[in-house]
Amino acid sequence: MKFLSAGLLALSWVSAARAACSSNLLIDNYSNYANNLNSLGQWTSDDGTTIGLKADTVNKKITFTSQASSYFYTTFACEKATTDGYNALTFPIKGPAGASFTIELQTSSSCSTTAYTSYYTTLTGVTGSTQTYTVLLSSFAGANLNAIQSILFESFSVNGAWEIGQTQLVCAAGGSSVGSTKTSSTSTTSVATTSKVSTTLSTSTKSASSTSKSSTVVGTSSTSKSSTSSKTSSTTSGVKVVTSTTSSSTTAGTCTPLLVDDFASQSRLTFLFYNAMLQPSSDDGTMKAVANRVDTSTSVIVANNHVTLTPANSASYWYTMFGCLKATNVYSGVGMTISAPAGTKMTIELQTEADCGTSNPVLIDLQSTDLGWTFDGTERYYQIPFSKYAGLDTDHLISVLFSGISKPVTFGPIAFYCGTGSAYPVPSTAAVIEPSSTIPATTGPSAIVIDTFGNSASNNLGFWHGGDDTTTYSISNKKLTINMKGNSDLSWYTQISDSCVDFTINDNSYIHIAYTGSNAFTVALQQNNPTCDSNLNPSPYTWDSVEASRYSNTAKTDLYIPLTHFNINRTLSIGFALKGFYTTTSTVISLIEIVKTPPTGFLVPSKLPTAPLIFACTRPNSFAFAIDDGDPALAQQVVSTVKAAGIHVTFFTVGAALLDTSTNLTNVYKGMLAAGHQVAYHSYTHPPMEGLPSLAAIDWELNNDINAVQSTLGISSQYFRPPFGTEGARIRQRLAALVPGAKFVEWSVDVQDWLWALSSTPQNQVTNFQSDVDKGGNLVVMHYLYQTTVDYLPQFISIAKATGKQLMRVDQCLEDPNAPPL
């Protein structure tokens, strides 16, 4: 594995006589990691290959989340370990139980040469707790221990949370024998012999011009994960080409597959148009259109780490980009699994550009038959060998494009492969296990029949019932049939009051819902505003939600939910909502009622905490602008506008866009933080999160967003705004579990920029803003996505100021004790 060599040439080795050691040599305690320097003053980095790497200087460790091809390294100014008397490497580490990892030792033939050879040893027995490994240097058979250039931690077998404590070379004569060096750990492991990861040890040259995943100025500081130019667009053969520059960090002989896309997220691919490399990927709308999907309008469908493409015609295509990657003497080609019907054909085009631009890309096409591909409907592994493409510039690979696809195809993970190659493994995702504890049943005072669906317009109490979209439900034969077609943003309601009703008298009772079909939805009890005036914003004021499936009997016919599990002010109750449907399977309901107690034998689950749902500021006389991600080109105009107005606001940011260096959003938000604004979470790829298929998928979004904000901005937050405002029990429960004290922020003032900004009447944004403010709304949603919206921002601010309220950040308007003073 080739790694960043910045600083190695500038910090030359001084040939001087050395005395044998008397104590261990501290390689790194991470106190200077902010400058990418170890305790020896030498370069150290992960080259951006991990997620959320953070140096904990107090506890002398680094923490990070590993992913495919992650590594971390620390360098020496050519350490003469044998001469100096060091015979082992020791370090504490913590990783997922059952995992393994590899130590790579890079040594040169002498300290006067920069060429090095890599040697490997794999360490197993990771317990999930902190443990100390001590690795004999002699286990790296053949390594020149008098010219150690660097040590790498790599090949983490399980993607997840890892910690590496301070690293030391053990002094054989310094009173610290092998295996005896102590740290604050729970166990100590001595490693005397290990197996080689690779028996083919290649030599590469470290120099200022060597290609690595980071680009640096020798002897100073590094830039980000990739050397990135501004994204530019051009059209070549109907293909939108957008590039930035990224180079491989792997050398021949130490090669590990490089993931292009594991299709972990629908919204990453078809909303943000990113692959796993955070490079552009799209069909440019050429695939067959699909109906009734919230997350995509084309048949580029992501599921179970696969993508299915259904061509509309012979002009349909799909591409994924590499960011101008150097693969020469590293990778042999690109591989993926494909499932396609017999007789399927397609064209596979590789694009290169010598200057990594897009003005004049070289396009080389081969047919699937040229590559020997045949299909039979089963999933098999296929390769795109670079050797098949005559004249291919493997120093500057930009993109692979699939066109002329004759039948629907499904691709598995796409990756650059080494040597003869093999299929990239589908990422394993551990299921999220929710608590299964139960509580004793209670008994309420009386039973109330709410709805038996005998009337299309009202329930048994005479109050309204109905839904957001009349095409998604029907009432007939005293049954309600709901199929939201996977749109988790739609709801169906049955009210128990036209304004407010004190429902606390029923606190020991249960809502009972008799149903058949799917229970993949949320049940909510809604609360009105303090005045019980539905003409004022917000109304409803809030609600609390529970996951229907947790409260079902084993026969999946009845739900029994304690009313006390709805953590709202139940003296201001309005009614119940069925929402957050995350399946296309219908739910048929025949009865909604309040019962005194559940049937004998029904196990009442414990209430899972949910992040509170917030629509309004609570501080008296306050007003907050909460602005979601948009066009980076408009960000500075927003900053200038709020600065001129003398106010502070809150920005909600999408993690993947933060990590894309070409957007410059990291620098934008660092400037916003420095100016006193608040920055908070808005998901990683902007999906309708309650509609995601599993709790693991929800966690993936939240954890990646948290890590992205931490790694780029160095902050954490307790505030989260859901994409599209989509809410349900699962996302609120997972947010509460992952972010203690989290707030789930919605809005009571909506400019509706998504509806009006690009219309012929963009001024309706101002009209909507004024209307919601007149109704008492004080918490804004808007995006800096459209020029008209940003241009109207001074008017929005003027309208808000005219109310006499004080404008402030969201945390301040919610009276957060940790918010900065006004």
Segment 309-355, tens digit of pLDDT = 999 999 999 999 999 999 999 999 999 999 999 999 999 999 999 98
pLDDT for 139: 86
Angle at CA 792, nearest 5°, toward 267 and 755? 40
Task: Please answer whether residues 702 and 738 qualify as being in contact, where contact means their C-beta atoms are separated by less than 8 angstroms.
Answer: yes
Residues of the chain above pLDDT 90, percent: 74
Lowest mean pLDDT among 83-97, 195-209, 351-365, 672-686: 195-209
For residue 746, give every residue at least 6 positions away whose Cβ sits within 8 Å of its Cβ, in sequence order, or none: 538, 613, 614, 615, 721, 722, 725, 727, 779, 781
How high is the pLDDT of residue 58? 87
Scanning 714-809, the segments in alpha helix (DSSP H) are 729-738, 753-756, 764-774, 787-802
Domain ranges for the chain: 25-205, 232-417, 440-605, 614-813
Longest pairwise C-alpha distance within the chain? 96
Query: Minimal CA–CA distance to 629: which of 647, 650, 612, 645?
Result: 650
Cβ proximity of 816 and 619 under 8 Å: no
The predicted model scores a pTM of 0.72
233: pLDDT confidence band, cut at 50, 70 and 90? very low
Rounded to 5 degrees, φ, ψ at 26 are -75, 115
Closest residue by Cα to residue 452 from 484, 468, 473, 476: 476
For 626, phi then psi, to 5°, come to -120, 110
- The DSSP symbol for 216 reads B
pLDDT at site 399: 97
Q: What is the mean pLDDT of the segment spanning 602-628? A: 98
Nearest one of 26, 44, 27 to 35, comparing CA atoms: 44
Query: Class for domain 614-813, per CATH?
Result: alpha beta
For 307-345, the three-class secondary structure string (H helix, E strand, C coil) is: EEECECCCCCEEEEEEEEECCCCCCCEEEEEEECCCCCC
Residue-level pLDDT at 641? 97
Bridge partners of 752, per DSSP, are none
For residue 306, give both structure tokens. 């696969």
| Helices (H), ranges, 533-601 | none
Strand, coil or helix: what is 204? strand
* For residue 208, pLDDT beyond 60: no
For residue 797, give the H/E element and its range: helix 787-802
pLDDT band for position 254 (50/70/90)?
low
pLDDT value for 19: 52
Please, are residues 549 and 517 in contact by the beta-carbon 8 Å criterion? Answer: no
In whole angstroms, give the CA distance from residue 821 to residue 417.
54
Q: What is the DSSP letter of 280?
A: B
Flag whether pLDDT at 788 surpasses 60. Answer: yes
Task: Please tell me the CATH superfamily of domain 440-605, with its number.
Answer: Galactose-binding lectin (2.60.120.430)
Helix (H) or strand (E) holding 635: helix 632-645
Backbone angles phi, psi at 605, to 5 degrees: -75, 155
Q: Is the pLDDT of residue 389 over 50?
A: yes
| Contact between 226 and 244 (Cβ < 8 Å) | yes
Helix axes 764-774, 787-802, angle to 10 degrees: 30
Between helix 632-645 and helix 787-802 the angle, nearest 10°, is 20
CATH class held by domain 232-417? mainly beta
Residue 772 in this model has a pLDDT that exceeds 50 = yes
* Angstrom distance (rounded) from CA 507 to CA 118: 68
Query: What's the rounded Cα separation, in Å, for the pair 280 and 268?
Result: 10
The DSSP call for residue 432 is P
pLDDT band (50, 70, 90) for residue 570: very high
User: Quick one: pLDDT band at residue 245, thresholds 50, 70, 90?
Assistant: very low
Structure tokens, 249: 């960090």
Count Cα neighbours of 472 within 13 Å in the Cβ-side half-sphere. Answer: 24
Distance CA 508, CA 443 (A): 5
Strands 678-681 and 650-653: parallel
Chain mean position to CA 671:
23
Phi-psi region of 106 (alpha: psi -120 to 50; beta: other; left: phi over 0): beta
Give me the chain's average pLDDT, please. 87
**For helices 695-713 and 729-738, angle between their N-to-C axes, nearest 10 degrees:** 40
DSSP H or E run through 613: strand 613-614
Exposed/middle/buried for residue 620 (C-beta within 10 Å: 0-12, 13-18, 19+):
exposed
**Is cis: bond before 445, omega within 30 of 0?**
no
718's tokens: 């307790």
**According to the model, what pLDDT value does residue 128 have?**
85
Distance CA 490, CA 493 (A): 10
Residues 25-205: name the CATH superfamily: Galactose-binding lectin (2.60.120.430)
Question: What's the 3-state SS for 45-68?
Answer: ECCCCCEEEEEECCCCEEEEECCC
Instruction: Output the pLDDT for position 110.
Output: 87
- E strand segments, 237-298: 239-243, 258-261, 281-282
CA 726 – CA 488 distance, rounded (Å): 7
Q: Are 44 and 5 in contact (CB under 8 A)?
A: no
Q: What is the mean pLDDT of residues 490-511?
A: 97
pLDDT digits (tens, 9 = 90+) for 445-454: 989 999 999 9
Q: Are 225 and 712 in contact (CB under 8 A)?
A: no
Report the pLDDT value the prediction gives residue 295, as an integer from 0 to 100: 75
Closest CA relative to residue 258, chosen from 275, 280, 241: 275
Tell me what pLDDT residue 220 has.
22
d(C-alpha 120, C-alpha 197), whole Å:
5
Q: Is a pLDDT exceeding 70 seen at residue 151?
A: yes
What local confidence, expressed as pLDDT, does residue 426 receive?
A: 87
Provide the edge-to-edge strand list for the sheet that holds 317-325: 281-282, 317-325, 397-403, 347-352, 362-367
The confidence band for 779, taking pLDDT boundaries of 50, 70 and 90, is very high
Percentage of residues of the chain with pLDDT beyond 70 = 88
Confirm if 94 and 174 have CB atoms less than 8 A apart.
no
Nearest Cα neighbor of 576 from 478, 668, 496 is 496
pLDDT at position 427, please? 83
Rounded distance, CA 40 to CA 30, Å? 11
Q: What is the pLDDT of residues 400-448, one digit of tens each?
A: 999 999 999 999 999 999 999 999 998 887 889 998 999 999 999 989 9
What is the residue whose two structure tokens read 């015979």?
Answer: 87
**What average pLDDT score do residues 678-697 get?**
97
Count CB atoms within 10 A of the CB of residue 76: 25
pLDDT computed for residue 737 by the predictor: 97
The dihedral sign for the CA sequence 12, 14, 20, 23: negative
Q: How far apart are CA 307 and CA 318, in angstroms?
A: 11
pLDDT of residue 7 exceeding 50, the answer is: no
Look at residue 546 and tell me whether its pLDDT is greater than 60: yes
User: Exposure pattern of 153-185 as b/e (b: 16+ CB <10 Å)?
Assistant: bbbbbbbbbbebbbbbbbbbebebebbebebeb
Would you say 166 and 185 are in contact if contact means Cβ atoms under 8 Å apart?
A: no
Q: What is the pLDDT of residue 68?
A: 78
Q: Can you say whether the dihedral through the CA atoms of 415, 419, 421, 425 is positive or negative?
A: negative
Same fold, 25-205 and 232-417: yes
Residue 433, classed as helix, strand or coil, is coil
For the stretch 617-670, pLDDT in tens is 999 999 999 999 999 899 999 999 999 999 999 999 999 999 998 899 999 999
Q: Which amino acid is at 52?
A: G
Does the pLDDT value for residue 16 go beyond 60?
no
Q: What is the mean pLDDT of residues 198-223?
A: 25
- Check if the beta carbon of residue 512 is closer than 8 Å to that of residue 559: yes
Mean pLDDT along residues 159-166: 92
Average pLDDT for 126-142: 89
Asked if residue 120 lies in contact with residue 114, where contact means CB atoms within 8 angstroms, the answer is no
Confidence of residue 231 (pLDDT cuts 50, 70, 90): very low
